[in-house]
Structure 1
Amino acid sequence: MNRRRFLSATAALSTPLVAGCGDGNSDGSDGEEDVADETVTITDESFDPVRLSAAEGATVEWVNETDEEHTVTSAEFHDDAESWDATLQLAPDGNAAHSFDFEGIYEYYCSNHGRGTMCGLVLVGDVSEDEDMPCE
């Protein structure tokens, strides 16, 4: 494992989730407002945008605008993707957030709908991914 992957994996495991009491869920009822640098919206059975660029250290919030549950589950579709450990549960009309402290390519999918149907990636820092995602 190279140093960057090790540091990313360590950070992913040690970085608390930002939304709602650290469990990855927030219904907005706690009176506290989460601050997100970037937002991914869930509509129908897709993440919008599928490819999101973010600065190193940014917090990304996923907002579920549907009446069904979704997940943000970490994945590695491409060889250059970072290994990260996340399974965020998003209730209907709920939200969840994650901070990305290190440059890299972070891929994910909704485990309720499958990798080929509903997936996305966060490009953190000065990186790019030219290959198609399974859901594109």
Structure 2
Amino acid sequence: MNRRSFLCAGSALTVAAVSGCVGRSLDEVQTAEASSGSSTQDSTDVDNNPDGVDEETISVGEDSFGPSRVILNVGGSVTWTNESDVEHSVTSYAYSSDAADWSIDQQLEAGGSATHTFDQAGIYQYYSTALGTFQMCGVVFVGNVDTGWNNPCLNE
């Protein structure tokens, strides 16, 4: 076989191989992936943190929230229960630039409680008006967000 024949044969094989890849529809690719068990999508759940829960109860004490940091799944809810003899609030506040833009100002009488459901991923920061912005605060991390925020409240 001379060089020209060899190159022509190689070119013909390359064209045949490439033409088998060209022209496949998206349905054909997805059907092939489904039958082989492979997928082009990432299998990790991008909406939730591995440590997230669906429900959390936060105790409102005389001078602190406990726990002051919780991690929820998207769609999860928090119930704040005032276990002190003083009226407190759960009031939204943005301590950091990555805080979610949300609004809550729930007054909690002694023994009272309030529940909020978080439908979107984000970092939700709050405080109690009974003691002030930097005296009693907390954070709810929802979904797969950075949980490295340091709470600036003095009672941590």
State the TM-score, normalizing by the size of structure 2: 0.62
**Paired position in structure 1 for 2:107:** 89
Query: In the alignment, is the contact (CA less than 8 A) between 1:63 and 1:93 conserved in 2?
Result: yes
Superposition CA RMSD, Å? 1.3
Q: Deviations over 1:76-130 (max 9, x none)?
A: 1011110101001100011011110000000000012112110000000111232
**Paired position in structure 1 for 2:117:** 99
**Paired position in structure 2 for 1:113:** 131
- Equivalent pairs: percent with the same residue? 43
- The runs of 5 or more residues in structure 1 that have no matched partner are 1-35
In structure 1, how many angstroms separate the alpha carbons of the residues matched to 2:120 and 2:136? 24
AA aligned to 1:82 is A
In structure 1, how many angstroms separate the alpha carbons of the residues matched to 2:132 and 2:117? 24
Please show how residues 10-89 of structure 1 align to structure 2 within 5 Å. 37-89=55-107
Query: In the alignment, is the contact (CA less than 8 A) between 1:115 and 1:134 conserved in 2?
Result: no
In structure 1, how many angstroms separate the alpha carbons of the residues matched to 2:131 and 2:102? 20
Question: Alignment partner of 2:146: what SS?
Answer: coil
- The runs of 5 or more residues in structure 2 that have no matched partner are 1-53
Structure with greater Cα Rg: 2
* Count of residues paired in the alignment: 101
